Structure 1
């Protein structure tokens, strides 16, 4: 199962804002931190605000911020709200209850196995809250370049150059 970019970006926005706490952020801040398109984030942020998960502040010094009570929101709840289809195969009912008939349905055990796997996947996501997965916040803040911090990126170690003699080589 692969989550859509929309769900991925929704989770990233919530994580970013949770780490920022009560401080206002802009879509541009989040876009730069993750290296993703500002345009892609605009629709995501609008719908997160409509759900009451993000507060938007209009005006010159506006932005958006995390709604504090959402720290207890589970990753599973976010995924369920942002994904449009959990039918892993065509014979499973989609969001509208529609499915494609299959000739082996009366004896098929695959659909039940896939349903159980999907349910286990979502149950695991339900065990983790947005607040929990943002810990430790300091480390995430540094990786996201918050508060003027320079993002910590893995660097391949290179051999140190030989130093020149102190006397200038004489």
Structure 2
């Protein structure tokens, strides 16, 4: 059931089923996250400011030396708080054979940081004489609107109510209004 304010209500057979659904998240429907909370008659229905979201991220061009669970976790920490790798990426790390053109990870991203598009990593050369710089590219499967002013997800900086209104050119102020082609 959905109410007029955009809240959805789900009914479960028992509390165990409800807790399983809440704990098995995050839930993403049509590329949009679904934030779940248990309800009681005392619950106040209000949309809270969202300061963190979990997003599936693809990291491309990972050096072979870093394609391990620990290496991928270290790389993911430059984007946010790593939650888990997808099953395909995990199996490639565990079996230590082959690799995809990217690694896929669920990462909790904070609204107070910009989205990373590139990650540069120094890798020790095989002979131990210096380092090689490797650049990896980050692709977000879903990217929420982020306001750098409020440091929240849900609206963009351009539509933020805390930003001053941009002055618009009116018809009378347009010097080209009488020019004909």
TM range (shorter): under 0.3
TM-score by length of structure 2 reads 0.24
More strand by share: 2
TM-score by length of structure 1 reads 0.25
Relative contact order (alpha carbons < 8 A, sep ≥ 6): 1 or 2 greater? 1
